[in-house]
Structure formats: structure tokens, C-alpha cells
Copies of this chain bind each other. A is one copy, B any other.
Amino acid sequence: MAATIRDVARASGVHVSTVSRTFSAPHLVNTETRNRVLAAAEDLGYRPNRAARALTTGRTHNLGLIVADIANPFFPPLIKSAQAHARERDYHVFVADTDEDPLVEEELIQTLTKQVDGVLLCSPRLSNRAIERLGADVPFVVVNRRVKGMSTVLMDVGHGARLAVAHLASLGHRRIGLVAGPSGSWTSGEMREAAAATAREAGLDLSILGPNPPTEQGGLAAAGDVVKAGVTGVLAYNDMVAIGLIEGLYERGLRVPGDVSVIGVDDIVPGRLNRPKLTTVAMPTSAAGRTAVDLLLQAVGAKDAATPALTTLETSLVVRESTAPPPSIERSS
């Protein structure tokens, strides 16, 4: 069995409470005593038991991080940064994957609740009502979705979409397409609105294509629509869709960016590695992870239910190789 506070007390000839203070309020203990305690602790390899501490303090120093799908390339950077940022603040994080299943998500939140000081919900699939209800038991921060009365971290895709459409316009494209995502998606709605506004201002012809599944398959399948719509530039719901779309266009004998320009959203690793390297709206996922942890810790620190905070993070356009001026000669069909 590992050393406990009692062993250290015995070894250093003081009472347990002094040992406790040495670790949780060092300034309250005489320097000399403190050193003696520290030495004994070091010697015995003593480490405070955080779970036991949590029992009295009510602070576990643990956070929960719930994502829809760990293997989706969008999430790992967020998980990484959240975890790193939390650790710097002496917090450990449970990460859990819901497999996109709201029931699993709810169950997870419930079992995790007692063990954490707060939980980060990334792109939750649960209904707003359910989230609000569960939020009564433990502080939440929601990433990538708008939930009334809940602290939120959003990434401004709308702005990114505007940049993307403007980029296409500046390249000379006049007929552009938006390969939309799932109909329920907050992101997809934002994109649609922003793209429409920018297209209108720039006098562009915009075709909304979709809804589509947010996957490579979705993009692949959308290639037909893109061809049919006769657009020369497209903004895809995300990078996976963009990659699938490029593949689909390729199969139809169309080259990117020679015949059609394609822009994705997210800036995931596969997009950087793809050929052509994908022009994309970069989502600040790492910053989102850090910000979410900050917000959460802030809520945890607050005596009573803190006022929910809303942070919107900027997106940017990363121009790589999948965009170019449109072909000067109209292609048939």
C-alpha cells in the first residue's frame, strides 16, 4: 500500500493536520517543520490522495470531456489542448466518446458528474432540454453549439464562410456552390446564411447543394450535384466532405483546382496531406479547447451559478492548392 498522510506524520513527528497543511496551505506552517515533513514525504514517496481530498473539499480536480467521436480528426487537437491546459492547472481529464449516441451521452454525463468538477460538451447530440436539465448537477461548457443559459465556446464559421466566398469571388468565380451539411447542424445554418449574404453582395450566383452527410461519402455523392449545378467554385461543409468531393469530381474527369475550386472547413490533418492540399477555413480547435477549460474552471471557482459566458473564436482562411481561377472556357454540360 502506498504511503498515507498518517505515515508521513509519524515519520516526521507531527500531527496529520500539519502534514495536510504542508501540502494545501504551506504558508501556515513553520518553515523548519515544513521541510521536515517534505523530507519525510519525499522519503516515503508520499502523494496526496486526490479522491480522499475531494471527499472533504468537494473539489475533485477532475474534468470530463465528452466528444461525439474521438476518431473524427476534428476532435483530437481539441482534446489534446484541453487536456494539456487542464493539466497545467492541476486538473486531470476523463475523456469519453459517445459514438454520436445521445443516450450514451446522457449516461456518461450522469456517471461522470460525481467524479468531476465540470464537464466539457463538444458538439453534443443531446437535446437542449436534456442539457439544461443535466447542467443543474455540474457546471457545463458547451463547444460548437448554442445552448440557452449555458457557457459556450463557438467558432465563427460564418466569418470563415464569408472569407471563403470572397476568396472565390476574387479569383474570378461567378457561379459558386455550397455543399451543405446535415440539416440540423448549427454550423451548416451559419455557413448557409453567411455564404448567401456574401454572394449577394458580390453579385455571385449561389447554389445550395444538400443537405449531405458530413463525411467523405457525403462529398463523393455530392459531386454529381456540383457538376449539374455548373458551378466553378464550391465551399464544402467540412474538409472530409471537400476531400470526398474532390475525389468524386476526379472520377467524373474534372480536376481540382483546374476545373473546379474547392474549399473545406476545419483544417484537419488529412486536408493538409491531401493532394491538392486543401484550401480551408481553419477552425481554432486548440484555442477552443483551452478557452473551454478556462471557462469551465472559472465556473467551478464561482460560488454560485455563474453567469454563462459566450466566447466566439475567430476563424481564418488558409489558402493552399485546391483553389484557382476558374477555367476561362466554359466546359460543356
Contact = CB atoms under 8 A, between A and B. Distances in A.
Interface of A: 2, 47-52, 54-55, 60, 62, 69-71, 73, 75-77, 79-80, 83-84, 87, 92-97, 99, 108, 110-115, 137, 216, 240, 243, 247, 250, 269-270, 273-275
A113 B48 CA distance: 11
B2 A137 contact: yes
Contacts of A273: 216, 240, 243, 270, 273-274
A273 B215 CA distance: 11
Top-7 shortest CB links A-B:
A270-B270, A70-B80, A51-B51, A270-B273, A95-B95, A71-B76, A71-B80
A79 B83 contact: no
Nearest to A95: B95
B269 A73 contact: yes
Nearest to A239: B273
Contacts of A274: 270, 273-275
Given A52-B55, A269-B270, A275-B247, A112 B96 contact: no
Number of copies: 2
Nearest to A77: B71
A57 to B, nearest CB: 11
Nearest to A277: B247
A95 B97 contact: no
A111 B92 contact: yes
Contacts of A94: 62, 92-95
Contact of A47 (B93, B95, B99, B113): B113
Given A51-B115, A111-B47, A216-B273, A79 B84 contact: no
A12 to B, nearest CB: 20
Contact of A83 (B93, B97, B114, B243): B97
20 contacts: A2-B114, A47-B110, A47-B111, A50-B114, A51-B114, A70-B79, A70-B80, A71-B77, A73-B73, A83-B96, A83-B97, A87-B108, A92-B111, A92-B115, A93-B94, A95-B95, A270-B270, A270-B273, A274-B275, A275-B275
Contacts of A250: 275
Contacts of A55: 51-52, 55
Contact of A115 (B50, B111, B270): B50
A83 to B, nearest CB: 6
Given A47-B113, A51-B54, A73-B76, 10 more contacts: A48-B114, A52-B55, A62-B94, A73-B270, A80-B97, A83-B95, A84-B97, A93-B95, A243-B273, A275-B275
Contact of A96 (B50, B77, B92, B97): B92
Given A137-B2, A270-B273, A114 B47 contact: yes
Contacts of A60: 51
A67 to B, nearest CB: 10
B114 A92 contact: no
Contacts of A52: 55
A250 B274 CA distance: 13
A250 to B, nearest CB: 8
